[in-house]
């Protein structure tokens, strides 16, 4: 049996900002990523050797037609689903060489996810939903709720802490989902159509919030969106085309 590498689940140190960008080890790198599924006796190829790199603090949009595999791509690079072939590297180390439990801890501390559907627990308040990742990482309830409160204030919901999802607007619910994704201060945010269910004005507010948080916190981000106008506002624009990632 081959020796298993040991990884820390703790947040990794940010690179020295004095280092020229071209010399930095990418925060996230995909090398030759393939992902396929079997539908009966037919193999469906989604990713076909996709390669890309994202530096710490860098923000990119990801566009492409429906069904091209954008969600699959996020699941693979976010370590929710292993690639059929290829490598997902964080700071130059292959994430899928970790064991299952170390990988889960690493993902919990280093990667935040925001989905098109907010997946908030309806019986819990905004504060309780946001505190959930901290409780999972074994913070005390007092500490988890303190950090959750600060994060909700950061996304403009300090006045809605005790409201349940059903008492919040669509935009407010998505802000809670964003706070939940950011509460452990991850180095990478992966957002899958975070404004897909919102009206244009509310969606614009969420995208502006993502840009502001990127500038203020230095969190790297990949944001999937079908809105070309919003995608163009991102500092870097990627497209998923025929299973490959290309610069848009």
pLDDT digits (tens, 9 = 90+) for 195-233: 777 777 777 787 888 888 888 888 999 999 887 777 888
* Banded model confidence at residue 102, pLDDT cuts 50, 70, 90: very high
| Cα→Cα distances 191→32, 49, 75, Å | 22, 22, 11
**Residue 221: helix, strand or coil by DSSP?**
strand
Q: What's CA 96's distance to the chain center, in Å?
A: 17
Q: Is the pLDDT of residue 237 over 90?
A: yes
Residue 7 near residue 88 (C-beta atoms within 8 A): no
What pLDDT is stored for residue 199 in this prediction? 74
Q: Rounded to whole angstroms, how far apart are CA atoms 231 and 98?
A: 33
pTM of the model: 0.83
Q: Is the pLDDT of residue 11 over 80?
A: no
% of the chain at pLDDT higher than 70: 90
Strand 42-54 with 28-39, pairing: antiparallel
Q: Is the pLDDT of residue 10 over 60?
A: no
Q: Is the pLDDT of residue 192 over 80?
A: yes
What pLDDT is stored for residue 5 in this prediction? 37
Q: Which of 17, 50, 14 is CA-nearest to residue 32?
A: 50
Query: DSSP letter at 242?
Result: T
Long-range (24+ apart) CB contacts under 8 A made by 144-151 are 147/183, 147/184, 148/179, 148/183, 151/179, 151/182, 151/183
Q: Rounded to whole angstroms, how far apart are CA atoms 139 and 222?
A: 27
Q: Is the pLDDT of residue 13 over 70?
A: no
What pLDDT is stored for residue 151 in this prediction? 93
Residue 165 near residue 129 (C-beta atoms within 8 A): yes
pLDDT digits (tens, 9 = 90+) for 153-191: 988 899 999 999 999 998 899 889 999 999 999 999 999
Token digits for 112? 């935040």
Q: Rounded to whole angstroms, how far apart are CA atoms 129 and 176?
A: 8
Q: Is the pLDDT of residue 12 over 60?
A: no
* Banded model confidence at residue 83, pLDDT cuts 50, 70, 90: very high
Q: Which of 187, 139, 181 is CA-nearest to residue 11?
A: 187
What pLDDT is stored for residue 120 in this prediction? 92
What pLDDT is stored for residue 49 in this prediction? 95
Q: Which domains does the chain have, with CATH numbers?
A: 25-247 (3.40.50.300)
Q: Is the pLDDT of residue 56 over 50?
A: yes
Q: Is the pLDDT of residue 79 over 80?
A: yes
What is the chain's mean pLDDT, rounded? Answer: 86
Find the mean pLDDT for residues 10-39: 69
């Amino acid at each position: 049996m081959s020796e298993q590498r040991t990884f820390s689940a703790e947040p990794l140190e940010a690179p020295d900002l004095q280092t020229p960008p071209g010399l930095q080890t990418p925060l996230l790198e995909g090398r030759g990523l393939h992902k396929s599924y079997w539908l009966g006796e037919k193999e469906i190829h989604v990713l076909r050797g996709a390669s890309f790199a994202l530096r710490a603090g860098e923000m990119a949009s990801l566009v492409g037609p429906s069904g091209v595999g954008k969600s699959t791509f996020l699941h693979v690079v976010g370590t929710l689903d292993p690639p059929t072939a290829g490598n997902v590297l964080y700071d130059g180390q292959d994430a899928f060489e970790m064991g299952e439990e170390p990988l889960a801890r690493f993902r919990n501390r280093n990667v935040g996810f925001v989905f098109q559907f907010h997946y908030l627990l309806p019986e819990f308040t905004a504060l309780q939903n946001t505190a959930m990742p901290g409780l999972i990482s074994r913070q005390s309830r007092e500490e988890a709720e303190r950090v959750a409160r600060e994060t909700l204030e950061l996304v403009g919901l300090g006045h809605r802490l005790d409201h349940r999802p059903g008492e919040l607007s669509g935009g407010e619910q998505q802000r809670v989902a964003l706070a939940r994704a950011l509460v452990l201060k991850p180095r990478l945010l992966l957002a899958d159509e975070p404004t897909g269910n919102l009206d244009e004005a509310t969606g614009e507010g969420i995208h502006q919030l993502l840009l502001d948080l990127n500038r203020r916190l230095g969190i790297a981000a990949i944001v999937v969106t079908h809105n070309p106008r919003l995608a163009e506002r991102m500092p870097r624009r990627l497209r998923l085309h025929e299973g490959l990632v290309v610069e848009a």
